[in-house]
A and B are shown apart, each in its own frame.
Chain A
Amino acid sequence: MSFDSVSMVFPDGTHALDDVSFGVDEGEFVTIVGPSGCGKSTILKIASGLLDHTDGSYDLADDNLGYVFQDSTLLPWRTVMKNVELFDELRKGDKSARRANAQRVIETVGLGGFENHHPKRLSGGMRMRVSLARSLTLNPKVFLFDEPFGALDEITRQNLNEEVGRLFKELNFGGLFITHSIPEAVFMSTKVLVMSSRPGRIIDEFDVPFEYPRTAELRYDPEFARLSGEVSKSLAAFH
């Protein structure tokens, strides 16, 4: 997936993105941090085709795309199983294959036994897991995350960070992740991009060298702290 000098001006004149270029390859996990309202969600909406950009070019190698929103966006009237089956259902997949696929990813995210629960009976963290499972049914080559864990408590968030890291290594997708949390960005990614406030531009780029699998220990590594500090400085320098 690649963005080449993409700009976005909304019909009402809001200039959201200005000359944004970057790429995400398979096996890369890119995280974008930036001030609120700088156009991060807009990047994902363009990447997924929900929005059309106004200038520059954008290329997606494979349209099999996972997209996890900030809100779990589960359909409340469907059980966990039926929610996870939704995408295959919309794509008119074979019914028994659909069920088997859903069962498999439900186990992957550790929700075996909750197949028949409705979302209202799940905790916020469990709902995000279902949302993640739902996208996993697609076997995506590219995975977009829009602040998926922003509303969760710290421990749940860290667990899910480790879990997504594990999935990333296992499935080798290209990840594009958005967050407000700098430690989360450094923990998850192979590369961190820093955006300016609106109109959003990419002002800095940090490679994150740590090996996968990354475990909780990494958060206490001096190198981790140093890198987080640099990202933080870069973000602050622009305000």
Chain B
Amino acid sequence: MKKRLGTAWPPLAVFAGFIGVWYFYSGVILDEVERNISLPYFHNVVDIAFLDGENRSELLSATWTSAWIAGIGLAIAVALGLFFAVLMSQAKWIERSFYPYAVLLQTIPILALVPVIGLRFGFGIGARVIVVVIISLFPIITNTLFGLKTAEQGHHDLFTLHKASRVTRLFKLQFPSALPAMFTGFQISAGLAVIGEIVGGFFFGRGATDLGNRIQLYAARLRAEELIGAIALSAGLGISVFWFFGFLRNRFTSSWAEANHT
């Protein structure tokens, strides 16, 4: 417990410094009009966005919507990502056929793709899910594929000596070897999924209201306090999923893996 508190101090100090800079910027550099439309004081943000019951429930419900849409997209991306990674791990020629397109998918700026998705799939929840899938697929594929290939030659030899089938090799050797890398991929993708969901919401307004919708609305109406509140919640959501997958990775690998980061 004591140690935990000890490790909590440095980031808390940074946070305090951050709030200090914020007050300095709002109070000294900005005049009152500028302050009200762009960067209000920290305590005003807390007051209006989080202590006001109505605003708070509006923001929290938007956060919840973002969370489940990102969750659905991420689940689909995990399923697709694992499928393609396993497929590519089975033969070099399959990997060579698909991998360039996985890279391509990664290099297209998601913002450029968004209008196309909207025009084809409408401006509702489905379109947001698609954005999430596209943005979070790549790290899952690459990390899983990398993980599946990290199984040691000596371990492969054992399975060869005992005439293990491809499926046995996959499930008893390659998947377990891949677990740490897989979770790293999930962790990166989970953060991206939240970003993708919010970007999607920014453009696709139909259906349940999420943080992207809220951010767009608050920005248009110059409601700076709520805008900053929504941004803070977006970041909080991203951090939560990142932590969650880090937790899962430790849960499944820390008892045996040699080194653990994060």
Contacts and interface: CB of A to CB of B under 8 A. Distances in A.
A48 B161 contact: yes
B256 interface: yes
A91 B168 CA distance: 11
B6 to A, nearest CB: 27
A86 B161 CA distance: 12
A76 B258 contact: yes
Interface residues of A, number: 20
Contacts of A213: none
A220 interface: no
B179 A73 contact: no
B179 A69 contact: no
A50 B154 CA distance: 11
Interface SS majority for chain A: loop
A118 B255 CA distance: 7
A120 B162 contact: no
B256 A50 contact: no
A91 B161 contact: no
Interface in B147-198: 152, 154-155, 157-164, 168, 172-173, 176, 179
B256 A73 contact: no
A67 B154 CA distance: 11
A76 B154 contact: no
Interface of B: 152, 154-155, 157-164, 168, 172-173, 176, 179, 253, 255-258
Given A87-B162, A90-B163, 13 more contacts: A50-B157, A69-B157, A73-B154, A75-B155, A76-B257, A77-B253, A77-B256, A78-B256, A86-B158, A89-B172, A90-B168, A119-B256, A120-B257
- For the complex of A and B, the 7 pairs showing the least CB-CB separation, nearest first, are A90-B162, A73-B154, A118-B256, A77-B176, A77-B256, A76-B256, A90-B164
